[in-house]
Amino acid sequence: MGKSFFGKCLLLVLAALLVVGTLSGVALAEEKVIKIGTLFPLTGSVALAGQRCRAAVETAAEVINNAHPELNVPLAAKAGLLDGYKIVLIHADHQGKPDVAKSEAERLFDQEKVWTIVGCYNSACTKPASFVAELKQKIFMCGCSSSGALTERDFKYFFRMAPTDKTESLEFVEFIEYVNEKKNADVKTVGLIYENTEFGKHAAEEGRLAAEAGGFKVVADVAFNPGATNLNSEVQTLKAANPDAVFGACLGGDYTLWVRTMKQMDWLPKVALNYCTGYQDPIITGQLGDDANYFMGGTGYAPEFAELMPAVAAVEEIYKAKTDPSVPFDSDSIQEAVALFIVAQAIEKSGSLDPTVVAETLYANEWESPLSMGGKVAFSPGGQNVKAMSMLTQLQGGEYKRIYPLELADTEPVIPMVPWKDR
C-alpha cells in the first residue's frame, strides 16, 4: 500500500515536472519574438494618415512573418527571421505632439522593451523620438518624415527612407525652369505657405534657398498653425502678393482648407507645387473632388505608377484589407512599410539582434526594395537613403499624372492652372 502510494506520488511529481517543462518550452518559444514599436499620430488632425502608416507596417510584418512565395519582395518566401523569430508590433500614438512622441518613445523602449521603433510621420515628432533612440543606442526607422535636419545630426542609429524637402525643393525649381523654357510659363516669383512646425519651417527654408538660387524672387512667406480652422488671412496674403508659383507644405485637413479657401477667394497661382503631404493623400483628393485638379507635388507612389513598380500591387492588396476605408498605398504609408522591410533584411543578413551590428549592416549594404521608386535603398552617414526618389505629378481628372522628370513622364502638365470659374 505504502509502495503504491509512493509510486503514485512519484508519477504525480513527474507529471507536474512534465507540465512545467512543457510550459517552459512554450514560454521559450514565445520569447522568440522581435518586438517592434510603431509611433504615429493615431488621433489628432492627421490621424487618418497615421493610421494608414500603422497599417503599412502591419502589412510588412505580415509578409515577413508568414511565407508569401507569390510576392516579389525580399523575405516573403519564408516565414520569420533568423530561423524562427517573428515580429510582434507594439503600437503607440504621439497625437501629433512632440512631447508625447518623446515620452511614448521612452515608454516603448523602457517598458515595452521594443527592439526598434518605426515612425513618426510628423517630422516634429520624429525629431525628439529618434533622439531618445539615439541616446539608448537603439535603431529608429523613419519612413516618410522629410525634414532635412533629421539626417544632418550625425546620428548612428537613425535611418530615413524618403527624400528630403531639399531634394523636392530642387526638383520644384528644375521643373519651373523647364516649363519656363519649353512651355513659356513665365514664372518669375514664388510664394511659400507652410505649417509652423519642424516639417513646415524646414520645407519653406529649403524652398526659399532653391528658388533664390534659381533666380526666382520670393514675394510671400506665410506660416500658419497646424489644425487651423480658418486660413482666410493667410490666403489673402498670398493673393495680395500674387506669386506665379506657390510651394506648399500643408498636412492633412490643412491642405483641404487651403485649397478650399483659395477657391472661396477665387485665386490661383500659375503653378502650385506641394511637398507630398496633403496633396498626395488619396482620401483628401477624394474629398476635394474636382477642386483637387491641376495642383502638383512630389509623389513617391500612387496606384497610377503600377507599370513602374510592378511588385507593389500584390502587397497592396494585403494593405487594403487593413485600412478602413480601404485605400491603396500613398507616398507616406508605403515608405513606412519599406522601413520595416529594410531593417528586417539587415537583421537577417547580419544574423544578429545587436542594434550596433544591425546599424553597421544597414550602412554597409545596398538593399533591394521593390516598394521604393528606383528599387534600391542605401544610406549615407546620418541615415539618409541616397537612393530615395520621387517624381512630380499633377492631378488631372482625379488621377496622379506623371509630369517630371521627363524620362518618367506620361502626361503634359497643364500650366497655368485652370481658373476656378472654368472648371
* C-alpha to C-alpha distance for 121 and 150, rounded to whole angstroms: 12
Give the pLDDT score at 306.
Answer: 87
How many other β-carbons are positioned within 10 Å of the β-carbon of residue 51? 20
- Are the beta carbons of 337 and 119 closer than 8 angstroms? no
pLDDT reading at 283 higher than 90: no
59-106 pLDDT, tens digit each = 999 999 999 999 999 999 999 999 999 999 999 999 999 999 999 999
Quote the distance between the C-alpha of residue 416 and its chain's center: 30
CATH annotation of 166-299+391-422: 3.40.50.2300
Confidence of residue 282 (pLDDT cuts 50, 70, 90): confident
341-391 pLDDT, tens digit each = 999 999 999 999 999 999 999 999 999 999 999 899 999 999 999 999 989
Give the pLDDT score at 30.
Answer: 54
Give the pLDDT score at 68.
Answer: 96
309 contacts: CB under 8 Å, gap ≥ 6:
301, 370, 371, 373, 375
**All three cell numbers of 333:** 504609408
Q: Tell me the sheet residues that pair with 39.
A: 92, 119
101-126 pLDDT, tens digit each = 999 999 999 999 999 999 999 999 99
* C-alpha to C-alpha distance for 219 and 241, rounded to whole angstroms: 6
Give the pLDDT score at 278.
Answer: 84
Q: Tell me the sheet residues that pair with 296.
A: 273, 394
Domain range annotation of the chain:
31-163+307-377, 166-299+391-422
pLDDT reading at 17 higher than 90: no
Q: Tell me the sheet residues that pair with 81.
A: 85
- Hey, do 31-163+307-377 and 166-299+391-422 end up sharing a CATH topology, with the first three levels equal? yes
Give the pLDDT score at 31.
Answer: 76
**Which pTM does this prediction carry?**
0.88
Give the pLDDT score at 20.
Answer: 39
pLDDT reading at 10 higher than 70: no
Give the pLDDT score at 37.
Answer: 98
Which homologous superfamily does the CATH classification assign to the domain defined by 31-163+307-377?
A: Response regulator (3.40.50.2300)
Phi/psi at 31 (5° precision): -75, -10
- Are the beta carbons of 104 and 39 closer than 8 angstroms? yes
67 contacts: CB under 8 Å, gap ≥ 6:
76, 77, 78, 79
pLDDT reading at 19 higher than 70: no
Instruction: Tell me the average pLDDT of the chain.
Output: 92
Of the given ranges (300-314, 343-357, 408-422), which has the lowest mean pLDDT? 300-314
Helix (H) and strand (E) counts in the chain: 12, 14
* C-alpha to C-alpha distance for 413 and 410, rounded to whole angstroms: 10
Mean pLDDT of 224-229: 92
**Which of 102, 110, 136, 231 is closest to 119 using CA atoms?**
102
Give Cα separations from 193 to 1, 19, 35, 259, 358 (angstroms): 92, 66, 40, 12, 40
Compute the C-alpha angle 238/243/247, nearest 5°.
Answer: 80
Mean pLDDT of 187-193: 98
135-183 pLDDT, tens digit each = 999 999 999 998 889 999 999 999 999 999 999 999 999 999 999 999 9
Give Cα separations from 309 to 260, 316, 337, 393, 394 (angstroms): 33, 11, 15, 16, 19
